[in-house]
Amino acid sequence: MTDIRISQAAELLGVSSDTVRRWVDSGRLTAKSDAGARKSIDGAELARFATDIARPVELPSVAAESARNRFTGIVTKVVRDRVMAQVEIQAGPHRLVSLLSKEAADELGLEPGVIAVAAVKATNVIVELPDTP
C-alpha cells in the first residue's frame, strides 16, 4: 500500500504538518518511521481519516472567484462493476466523484489511499462577483 509522508498528508488534508504530527502524537493517526526516522502514514488509513474529518463547508456568497480545474487529493473509495468504476477523491474539503471505465481505473491502479489529481474540464466556466451591500 502507499505510504504518505507527514508533509504530503498535511497538504492533502489542507492542514499544517504540525497538525498532522499532533494527530499522530495523540493517536488519531498512526505513523511509522523508516530507517532515517522519517514518519509516514498508510494511504488507506489516511483515506479513511480524510473521509471522517471531511465536513461540508459553508460557502459564503461568492466573492470574486474563478474555479480551479486541478484538485490533488487522496482516493477514498472505488466501486467497480463489469464495465465502469466510480472513484471518489477527497481533496481538502472537496469531494470529487468521477465515473470512468473499469479498465482505466485498473490501469491507473486506483484504490483507497492512492494520491490522484482530479482534472475537471468544463465547456463553461462561470466567474461571479457578489452584489455589494
Residue ranges per domain, the chain? 3-53, 70-119
The string of pLDDT tens digits covering residues 21-43 is 999 999 999 999 888 888 999 99
In the predicted structure, residue 67 carries a pLDDT above the cut 60: no
Per this entry, what is the length of the chain? 133
The Cα-based distances of 87 to 11, 95, 117, 131 in angstroms read 20, 10, 12, 37
The Cα-based distances of 10 to 66, 70, 97, 119 in angstroms read 24, 18, 22, 21
What's residue 33's pLDDT?
86
C-alpha cell read off for 3: 505510504
Task: Return the exposure string of 97-130: e unless at least 16 CB atoms fall within 10 Å of the residue's CB, then b.
Answer: ebeeeeeebeeeebbbbbbbebeeeeeeeeeeee
Question: Which class is domain 70-119?
Answer: mainly beta
The string of pLDDT tens digits covering residues 92-126 is 888 999 999 999 999 999 999 999 988 887 766 56
- CATH architecture of structural domain 3-53: Orthogonal Bundle (1.10)
Pick the more confident residue, 120 or 1. Answer: 120
Paired residues of 46 in beta bridges: none
Model confidence band, residue 57 (pLDDT cutoffs 50, 70, 90) = low
What's residue 1's pLDDT?
62
pLDDT > 90 fraction of the chain, expressed in percent and rounded: 54
pTM of the predicted structure, to 2 decimals = 0.64
